[in-house]
Structure 1
Amino acid sequence: MTRVAMSALIAACAGLLAASPAASMDRKTGEEKLAEMLEGRVAGEPENCIRTFGNGNLTVIDKTALVYKRGDTIWVNRTRFPETLDDNDYLVIKKYGTTGQLCRLDNVTTRDRGGNFFSGVIFLEDFVPYRKPAGAEG
């Protein structure tokens, strides 16, 4: 490799390294995303099961929680090991109770979106409802 080509390669690598911290600073953490979703809401009493209508409203927040939105309520399940949650995976849920509910004891596994291979097991905790206080707008 010529001296000019080597210098160009080093400069390109240095540019990539310098750009990385700025790019990572723009990405919000899971906790920041969850805080935005719950802004202005108050936590209610945790429950073992929640009524669900399909899984379309179930969202994985990377390394933070599972979130289910139904009407004006946002249900948050922090799971036993939230650091294993990956928003690049999809959930496979085997329900053991009533079909219209998602419960703490249901079997939840994850699969990788890219290769469709098994990637983990999710251990659910209680579901905490977050609602806007009475009289709050929006």
Structure 2
Amino acid sequence: MRPIILTILSAAVLAAAPAAASAREKLAPEDQLAKLLKDRVAGEPQNCITLSSVTSSQVIDKTAIVYKIGGTYWVNRPKGAESLDDDDVLVTKTTGSQLCSIDTVQLHDRSSHFWTGFVSLGEFVPYRKVKAE
């Protein structure tokens, strides 16, 4: 009986090891953003981006929203960024075809389906890859 219990405990420890390792590897928000923007250079901040051109967006916890348009990452560090959670769904309401620094984004929890707050967008900073010479 004792060897069976030891075998079960050993299996449980081995199964938990990869999860613990991946939890340990999670980068701090600023480090996540730096890794995403590696090999890119910041351009002149803009007040608006064309919403229909956005192909994806990514939330960096308590830091920024990154919008991708073509090969350019547009980083927005909103007011109230401490409310940002990478598990939130972003609900954007705008009256035109552009997303601008005067707009707000509502945050909706993916699991509970409750509204968790909102952020006020700031300027959009483009990050483009450096062309090799």
Bin of the TM-score, shorter chain as denominator length: 0.7 to 0.9
* TM-score when normalising by structure 2: 0.76
SS in 1 for 2:52: coil
Q: Per-residue CA shift, 1:9-65, capped at 9, x if unaligned?
A: xxxxxx9xxx89866432112211111111111111111101122765011111111
Equivalent position of 1:94 in the other structure: 93
SS in 2 for 1:111: strand
Q: Per-residue CA shift, 1:69-111, capped at 9, x if unaligned?
A: 1112110001112221101111111103x22x21111231111
Quick one: which amino acid aligns to residue 123 of structure 1? S
CA distance in 2, matches of 1:88, 1:21: 20
CA distance in 2, matches of 1:54, 1:117: 28
Equivalent position of 2:77 in the other structure: 78
Equivalent position of 2:114 in the other structure: 117
Q: Aligned pairs, how many?
A: 117
Equivalent position of 2:3 in the other structure: none
CA distance in 2, matches of 1:75, 1:131: 9
Equivalent position of 2:33 in the other structure: 34
- Runs of 5+ consecutive residues of structure 1 not aligned to the other structure: 1-14
Equivalent position of 2:127 in the other structure: 130
CA distance in 2, matches of 1:136, 1:70: 21
Matched, 1:47 2:43: no
Quick one: which amino acid aligns to residue 101 of structure 2? R
* TM-score when normalising by structure 1: 0.74
Structure number with higher strand proportion = 2
Equivalent position of 1:106 in the other structure: 103
SS in 2 for 1:68: strand
SS in 1 for 2:82: helix
Task: Report the Cα offset of residue 114 of structure 1.
Answer: 0.9
Aligned-residue Cα RMSD (Å) equals 2.2
CA distance in 2, matches of 1:22, 1:114: 25
SS in 2 for 1:129: strand
